[in-house]
Amino acid sequence: MNIQTNISLKQYNTFGIDVSAKYLFAFSSSDDLQYLLSDQSFKNQEKLVLGGGSNILFTRNINALVLKNEIGGIELIEETENHFLVKAGAGVVWHDFVIYCIQKGYAGIENLALIPGNVGASPMQNIGAYGVEIKDVFHSLEAIHLSDNKKVTITKSECDFGYRESVFKHSYKNQFVITSVVFQLNKKPEFHFSYGSIKEELDRLQIHDLSINAIAQAVMNIRRSKLPDPKIIGNAGSFFKNPEIDSSFFNELKNSFPQIVGYANDSEMIKVAAGWLIENCGWKGYRAGDAGCHDKQALVLVNFGKASGNEIFDLSEKIIESVKNKFGIELQREVNIY
């Protein structure tokens, strides 16, 4: 069993924050993980499960055993009249999985191309982009319960998915290691291209015959134009959630700020573009030391090199405060703070 000690986590988080972990154990099968968990010497050790490290901000050294999930493999487990049930290891890179599915003709996740992170983390915050969320294609997952080391299957209804939300951020928090996820993908694609710029990008690419490949291409172009590549500039995608507010409050704000961007959803609530709020408080392109607010998408905080997690966190506090003062809306962080 190869357990590393006092190891830097810089390469294990997309923000590129340089903190150290007391122990790190990388595992490539659920058997390896169960073997480690059966070792009594780690029984009472605090544990932190890490996937692609793309939705976490480290603000301190980690006095815990970091479990780095590297379980691979993609497998077609069942084919029905309308669907493919596809199982992927939690350590598979999400975008590689999307590309694999497109090549095989498995439809449903093409709008989710280029989202950083691994398959195992995708249900945690119900990843979403351009009108699609993972809950739309999620079937079930397998996980190991950290306290009793047993393998369990968790179904869709149990996951309690919401906007960037699931049971794994609440009552199941830090209790399970997700080892694989099963997706129910479609044989007949349902194209989602009404979201903002996708249509424009498809026109620009002169695509007239829609395909899952074309949608993914449009999504990749848009993402590359707005979102920083974590390999070049550290970031964790959207740092905040888009806040949902009452439609009457939204109308009041619209009187004072006619340009404000919001989308009605199924309820009486309006989802407000947090990027717009942040930009209109003057933060877009802001930089203090190596911590900053991305110049093409204000919802994304960035590490230009050597920022500490606390510097990024402090910047997020200032942004929350100024948005609250100007618009009376309290932004919630989407990224997990550790």
Name the residues that contact ligand EPU, by CB under 6 A. Answer: 129-130, 196, 226, 237-238, 241-242, 261, 273, 275-276, 279, 284, 297-299, 334
Residue 64: which residues within 8 A CB-CB, separation 6 or more?
Answer: 21, 22, 23, 45, 46, 47, 48
DSSP letters for 64-109: EEEEEE----EEEEEE-SSEEEEEEETTSBHHHHHHHHHHHT-BS-
The sheet carrying 287-288 orders its strands as: 234-238, 300-303, 291-293, 287-288
| Least spacing, CB of residue 162 vs ligand EPU, in Å | 12
| Cβ count within 10 A of residue 234 | 24
- Report the C-alpha gap between 133 and 268 in whole angstroms: 21
Residue type, 234: G
Structure tokens at 160: 């309690």
Per the CB < 8 A criterion, the answer to whether 18 and 62 are in contact is no
Structure tokens at 72: 């691979």
| Least spacing, CB of residue 260 vs ligand EPU, in Å | 9
- Report the C-alpha gap between 338 and 335 in whole angstroms: 10
Does residue 287 have an active-site annotation? Answer: no
| Least spacing, CB of residue 197 vs ligand EPU, in Å | 7
Q: Judged by CB, which is closer to ligand EPU: 116, or 309? A: 116
| Least spacing, CB of residue 177 vs ligand EPU, in Å | 23
- Report the C-alpha gap between 166 and 200 in whole angstroms: 32
- Report the C-alpha gap between 152 and 142 in whole angstroms: 6
Does residue 268 have an active-site annotation? Answer: no
| Least spacing, CB of residue 129 vs ligand EPU, in Å | 4
Q: Tell me, rounded to whole angstroms, the distance of Cα 166 from its chain centroid.
A: 12
Residue type, 313: F
Q: Judged by CB, which is closer to ligand EPU: 129, or 233? A: 129
| Least spacing, CB of residue 294 vs ligand EPU, in Å | 8
From the candidates 238, 244, 308, 311, which is the catalytic residue?
238
From the candidates 54, 110, 122, 164, which is the catalytic residue?
164
- Report the C-alpha gap between 256 and 268 in whole angstroms: 21
Does residue 164 have an active-site annotation? Answer: yes
Q: Judged by CB, which is closer to ligand EPU: 135, or 284? A: 284
3-state DSSP of 173-212? CCCEEEEEEEEEEECCCCCCCCCCHHHHHHHHCCCCCCCH
Q: Tell me, rounded to whole angstroms, the distance of Cα 22 from its chain centroid.
A: 25
| Least spacing, CB of residue 283 vs ligand EPU, in Å | 9
Q: Judged by CB, which is closer to ligand EPU: 71, or 300? A: 300
Length reported for the chain: 338
Catalytic residues: 164, 238, 334
